[in-house]
């Protein structure tokens, strides 16, 4: 039996990997140099998802605002330099992610990544964690003129995968991912354990799963051939 979708595209932070503790520590390191109080992990979690620059700016605003004397471009560049030096830990990958990706790939599904994390740290993370071999197309938030929640970001991933929107689904963890899927016209599955101030079940996704091991069943439930009476779209 052919897979229900020709392609599945994933978000990264909060969906496939738990990067929040490292990002929180780095934000606090930058704040400490401005004599700012540290932020709790719970405060930083909802700041993640719109890219590293947005995270840094939100951290500054939450701790007293962006200082008028700070060169934000230079500070962001330093943030990225430090992030590039941080060790990548294998335990950052959520349980069940690798087996599920391997299962989907073995069944012929094309796998991609659509993330607002900048391209360089995205590529480094995927390579170090062994995910690059499975996610054959990965487009970061600074690689295009547009990024999530604009449809063009996801559509670019699908174009490089060679799959039409009719044969694709997006898996993420936040409202940004849901808005991206809706803008592109693809079904959206959210994981409940991600980085969102609004519970995933309250966002209105097509389906919400508790664990990545549940993804196969969720994709079967959203099978476009079951909904339309036609064969799933192929690449």
Catalytic positions: 11
d(CA 46, CA 84) in angstroms, rounded, equals 22
Residues in the chain: 235
d(CA 16, CA 100) in angstroms, rounded, equals 11
- 8 Å CB contact between 118 and 80: yes
d(CA 219, CA 205) in angstroms, rounded, equals 13
d(CA 204, CA 196) in angstroms, rounded, equals 13
């Amino acid at each position: 039996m052919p897979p229900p979708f020709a392609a599945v595209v994933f978000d990264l932070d909060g969906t496939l990997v738990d990067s929040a503790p490292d990002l929180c520590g780095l934000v606090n390191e930058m704040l400490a140099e401005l004599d700012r109080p540290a932020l709790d992990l719970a405060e930083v979690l909802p700041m993640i998802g719109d890219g590293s620059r947005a995270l840094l700016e939100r951290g500054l605003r939450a701790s007293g605002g962006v200082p008028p004397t700070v060169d934000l471009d230079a500070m962001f560049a330093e943030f990225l330099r430090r992030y590039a030096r941080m060790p990548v830990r294998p335990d950052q990958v959520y349980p069940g992610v690798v087996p599920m990706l391997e299962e989907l790939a073995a069944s012929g599904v094309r796998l991609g990544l659509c993330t607002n994390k900048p391209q360089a740290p995205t590529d480094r993370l995927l390579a170090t964690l062994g995910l690059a071999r499975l996610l054959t197309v990965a487009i970061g938030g600074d690689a295009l003129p547009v990024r999530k929640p604009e449809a063009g970001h996801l559509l670019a991933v699908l174009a490089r995968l060679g799959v039409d929107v009719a044969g694709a689904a997006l898996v993420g963890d936040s409202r940004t991912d849901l808005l991206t899927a809706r803008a592109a016209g693809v079904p959206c599955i959210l994981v409940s354990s991600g980085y969102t101030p609004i519970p995933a079940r309250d966002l209105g996704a097509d389906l919400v799963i508790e664990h990545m091991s549940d993804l196969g069943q969720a994709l079967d439930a959203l099978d476009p051939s079951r909904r339309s009476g036609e064969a799933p779209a192929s690449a």
